Amino acid sequence: MTTNFITNRMPRLLAMLFLLLGLFCVAALPAYADDYDTTIDRLSRLQSLARDFSASKDTAPDPIELTLAYTRTGTYNTTIWQLTAGVRDAEFENYVNSNDPDLAALQSVNTVQLPNGEKIDFGHLLASMNLVYNGIPITGSWGGDCQEMAQQYYGQASDAAGYASVMRATFNIDDDGSVSKFGDQDLRADMDSVVVGSKVKKDTDLADALRSYYENLTDYDRAKEFISLSFGTVDTSNTSFSDAVYNALLEDSGMQLLFYMNGMWSADGWKIKEDYAPAVRGATDLFAEYLADAVKHEKIKSETNDRLVAMGGQALSDALAALGDTDAASAALAAADEFANNAQSTVSSGSDAISTARETLQTKFDVKIFQLVLLIAAAVAAFMLVFSMVMFVVHRREE
């Protein structure tokens, strides 16, 4: 290797060295956490603007929905989220940006450290509260995370116990979502969105509700209230508790739609696909185990013995019909009728949300087109990868 060769390439080598050093330093930095008081204050100001905006309109949109929908971006504003949680109001967004541009920070909020020192994915919390408020309490919270974890680990075990064993490596770990599909920040957001979201009414002050909830909050209190709302009166020391968690997931119409859209649900008999069932059961078993430990395996008594379930059977059937799958629509409706006859559940506020989603599906969303877009995106990504490799080889040969 000649001196000129080294000299000519020294700038490139130094640039690579500084790049690697920069990446190392970034990786070594602690995860950034948004300030709790600042975030709550922004939420309060956002809702205040939502009230003013609503009051100025003849149609008077719901300030709660305006507030929560405004915060949903990225993965919380995909087509499926828009169908179930609602579409962000572009006019309101312009109104906020004009009156208080600092509030745009709520659209990228992630980790927030709570008063008790715990960290939570605050963006996930608000997005899930949006769904809970709309009457879909499971899909955007713990059910969605169980589904994602089952999909992530699919094929790595043969039964539920095996799946629970391998999933334990990432379940409830200290993580901001970079590694785990169901880390500790997601876990807290899932439960808190149900507990707080289920109590939100149109006149609720969201900032006050969250401040009150997080004051002196313990893991025990959080889990106890969540269990009562989600599963009614249950004995968490009994193995039947795991069955209750798993069955609640499968009986929820919002989850059925989510499973179906991800290829994990069969239209034949309208049930979870047999090959996915062990993975889903492994995820719910881990979740049930965590809840039982959090409440010291006590028997939890619900004051009403009701639980939050999305009961949109007819709406779900209509949505499936709008997607062009009449067989699935018929199967879903039959299953919903049977469940309605046997269940003692209550619909959370805003139970017509799935009906609204159905109408949007019928008028604005074509699943086949959506799937085609995904395929095209994947093809472009693959092409760019191959192109980059070819350019690298050509560049090396020129050297």
What's the rounded Cα separation, in Å, for the pair 263 and 148?
12
399 residues of the chain, pLDDT tens digit each: 444 444 455 445 444 433 433 433 333 334 456 899 999 999 999 999 999 999 999 999 999 999 999 999 999 998 778 877 888 999 999 999 999 999 999 999 999 999 999 999 999 999 999 999 988 899 999 999 999 999 999 999 999 999 999 999 999 999 999 999 999 999 999 999 999 999 999 999 999 999 999 999 999 999 999 999 999 999 999 999 999 999 999 988 889 988 998 999 998 888 999 999 999 999 999 999 999 999 999 999 987 666 665 546 666 776 666 666 777 778 877 777 666 565 544 434 333 444 454 454 334 333 333 333 334 444 444 445 545 554 554 555 555
- Where in the chain are the domains? 1-30, 36-251+267-308, 372-399
What's the rounded Cα separation, in Å, for the pair 111 and 35?
9
**What six digits make up the tokens of 124?**
């996930």
Taking the model in full, what pTM does it have?
A: 0.77
- CB contact at 8 A, 243 and 237: no
Cα-flanking dihedrals φ and ψ of residue 175, to 5°? -160, 145
Contacts of 88 (CB under 8 A, 6+ apart): 69, 70, 72, 77
What's the rounded Cα separation, in Å, for the pair 187 and 142?
7
What's the rounded Cα separation, in Å, for the pair 354 and 374?
24
Cα Rg, the chain, nearest whole Å: 24
